[in-house]
Amino acid sequence: MSRKAPARQMRRRVREEIYRWVFASLAFASLAALIGITAVLFKEGIPFFREVSLKEFFLGTGWYPTHEEAPEFGALPLILASVWVTAGAVLVSVPLGVGTALFLSELCPPRLRSFLKPTVEILAGIPSVIFGFFAIAFIAPVFQKLFNLPTGLCALTASLTLGIMATPTVCSIAEDAVSFVPGNLREAALALGANKWQTLVRVVIPAAGSGIITGIILGTSRAIGETMVVLMAAGGAAVIPRSFTVPVRPITSTIAAEMGETVVGSTHFHALFALGLILFLITFLFNILAEVVSRRFRMQLGGDL
């Protein structure tokens, strides 16, 4: 026994060391992927700006990347379309997501909650191409009739669909934040004579505020990067959007539609990478913002406890 013990201990230590390395390398694999993707985006995107000026790219309004004599690489309509469609999606997903979260954690009877919460989670798991089909087959014809539009494929259809898609993201993060609000805060409010509504609006929402905002930011970042739905439902006209009922062409659908048939190494090819770079920087910014806000939120609650 006494002779065997150190050997066994030794073996255990070695095994633990192996596990540590295996999991560490797995964790670093995603870091490697991130670095690789960033490097490729910059490597293929930067050469574009040697051929086309920043001014033409960001302020130009014509997107004719394959025209033989006078190609134009004005990305302004595409960038604005992404912003426009995402803004619309936020208008849908924030009330839906935050409302659902508040209802689920504060007002919902437990039986109903055990049904509603899985429903929201299933919504998160539906593939985006199915959302796209739903938009084309159902939402677009309804809007076409309702607003008497020439076509139902427009910013509004895309926004509504993206909004519904982003709702589970907003909802689950916001719900976590609300459920983390310590019970003693609520009890204190109620003890002071506040009713349920006052407690919710004056105490719970402010306390969970940064968590809710984190959810909204991540939901927005999900909406702006979504490709399939906008490719199928946004219409695809590269014009600066002036209303919600016009067809638009966001960055993501432009890349998806054109990458397959462009000549590798051409200006057009690099232009699509430059578009990808813009998209990447936007979502990167959003993620950092979400991280900063959620850190603040954690610290605040820590102080209260």
Give the binding site for another protein (CB under 8 A). 61-70, 77, 136, 140-141, 144, 150-153, 231-232, 235-239, 246-247, 249, 256-258, 260-263, 268
Q: Smallest distance from the beta carbon of 66 to another protein, in angstroms? A: 4
Longest dimension (CA), the chain: 88
Residue 30 neighbours by CB under 8 Å, 6+ apart: none
Which residue, 118 or 150, has its beta carbon nearer to another protein? 150
Which residue, 203 or 271, has its beta carbon nearer to another protein? 271
Q: Name the packing angle between helices 251-259 and 267-304 (round to 10°).
A: 140
Which residue, 222 or 268, has its beta carbon nearer to another protein? 268
Which residue, 76 or 87, has its beta carbon nearer to another protein? 76
Reference 185, options 201, 199, 196; nearest CA is: 199
Q: Smallest distance from the beta carbon of 151 to another protein, in angstroms? A: 5
Q: Smallest distance from the beta carbon of 236 to another protein, in angstroms? A: 4
Q: Smallest distance from the beta carbon of 278 to another protein, in angstroms? A: 19
Could you report how far apart the first and last alpha carbons of the chain are, in Å? 49
Q: Smallest distance from the beta carbon of 189 to another protein, in angstroms? A: 53
Which residue, 27 or 70, has its beta carbon nearer to another protein? 70
Tell me the CB-side half-sphere exposure of residue 70, using CA atoms within 13 A. 1
163-183 burial, b at 16+ Cβ within 10 Å, e below that, comes to bbbbbbbbbbbbbbbbeebee
Are the CB atoms for 160 and 142 separated by under 8 Å? no
Q: Smallest distance from the beta carbon of 221 to another protein, in angstroms? A: 24
Are the CB atoms for 60 and 74 separated by under 8 Å? yes
Q: Smallest distance from the beta carbon of 83 to another protein, in angstroms? A: 18
Reference 105, options 204, 234, 227; nearest CA is: 204
Which residue, 132 or 211, has its beta carbon nearer to another protein? 132
| Beta-bridge partner residues of 82 | none
Residue 44, SS3 per DSSP? helix
Which residue, 230 or 293, has its beta carbon nearer to another protein? 230
CA distance 153 to 222: 21
Which residue, 185 or 239, has its beta carbon nearer to another protein? 239
Check the CA dihedral 234-157-228-270 and report its sign: positive
Q: Smallest distance from the beta carbon of 283 to another protein, in angstroms? A: 23
Are the CB atoms for 248 and 154 separated by under 8 Å? yes
